[in-house]
Amino acid sequence: MLTALGISPSDERIYRLFLDGADLTARQVAEASGLTEGRVRGCVARLTGLGLLRRTGPGRYQAVNPETALLPLLSRRRLEAEAAFGAARTEVDAIADTYRAGQLRTDPGNLVEVLSGREVVTARVEELTNSASSHIWALDRPPYLARADGAQHSNDDERAATRAWLARGIEVRSIYCPQSMERPGRFETLMELGAEGEQSRMLPTLPFKLHIIDKRVALVSLVGGVYDSLAVVHPSGLLDALIELYEAYWERAEPIGAPSPEVSRAAGFSHDEVVLLGMLKAGLKDQAIAHQLGTSTRTATRRIASVLARLGARNRFQAGFEAAVRGLV
């Protein structure tokens, strides 16, 4: 049972004989186990080296508290395993790069996969995002993939997927535009996920839909309107250019964020008002804000006017400045 910790079955068998708390000699353990005294001495030496036994007198040993001895050993072995798998992943990536470079020399068409058909595109996107280990970067705009049942993804779906990536230690960066806000309540969802670790920014427009996975592959939607054709770009000068393009857009984009509840309460603003300020700062128009809030445009305009009045601002620009000064956006 303890082989995962680097303890052999024979060493574990000897170790368990010490767990009743008694001080034992190698001879006593040999008699109890049926092993030779020389073999028992080897087991005791290894167990002592691992910190599982301690010497209490000449030739006598006692078990260390397992929680004190085994838990640190478990943590050490886990770190060693993670480091080994990380090194193996790096080597696999290097081998894949070498293979791909050879393929490109013989057939440059291997640089880009072109996929057609909703089912094929959906399967490839899921495969690549599930394999991500370090980065998922996106230029987010329509069209969007539907779920397997044909329904559109919900805000809850987005929360679940993003939280799963963050839990795996993946850096999630997304650049949105007003067109990204077709789903009511999505802006509030993004503010919520931003507080949990997603890095989100906003631009007035985006030229196309893009995903970059681990900086090793890029997914580019080829046709607007529907997400049924996709280019998968592998390591190459083209991929490098897409990464540089993404970084340039990232520098230009406006961060989407939310203050802590303590800050908003101290400033006297409700959660809904903070979300509204965030949408104003992001440049959403009254109609788009109304869509996010699930209200009429007239109601949204009235709420905007109320928030501007509370900030003492005459226009959206002044409101954004005042909200930033107060730490609300």
> What domains appear along the chain, each with residue ranges and CATH number?
1-106 (1.10.10.10), 112-256 (3.30.870.10), 261-325 (1.10.10.10)
47 versus 223: the higher-pLDDT residue is: 47
Q: What's the pLDDT band for 139 if we cut at 50, 70, 90?
A: very high
Q: Check whether 250 has a pLDDT greater than 70.
A: yes
315 versus 179: the higher-pLDDT residue is: 179
| Strand ordering across the sheet containing 60-63 | 24-25, 60-63, 53-57
In 3D space, the residue among 111, 118, 127 whose CA is nearest the CA of residue 227 turns out to be: 118
The contacts of residue 12 (CB under 8 Å, 6+ apart) are 1, 2, 3
Outline where DSSP puts E strands in 76-164: 112-116, 135-139
The contacts of residue 229 (CB under 8 Å, 6+ apart) are 114, 115, 116, 121, 221, 222, 223
Q: Check whether 137 has a pLDDT greater than 90.
A: yes
| pLDDT tens-place string over residues 90-105 | 888 788 777 766 766 6
How much of the chain, in percent, has pLDDT values that exceed 90? 27
Please, what's the largest Cα pairwise distance for the chain? Answer: 91
Task: Write down the pLDDT at residue 68.
Answer: 80
Q: Check whether 200 has a pLDDT greater than 80.
A: yes
Q: How far apart are CA 16 and CA 162, in angstroms?
A: 45
Task: Write down the pLDDT at residue 261.
Answer: 63
The answer to whether 282 and 256 are in contact (CB under 8 A) is yes
Mean per-residue pLDDT over the chain, rounded: 85
Q: How far apart are CA 329 and CA 315, in angstroms?
A: 16
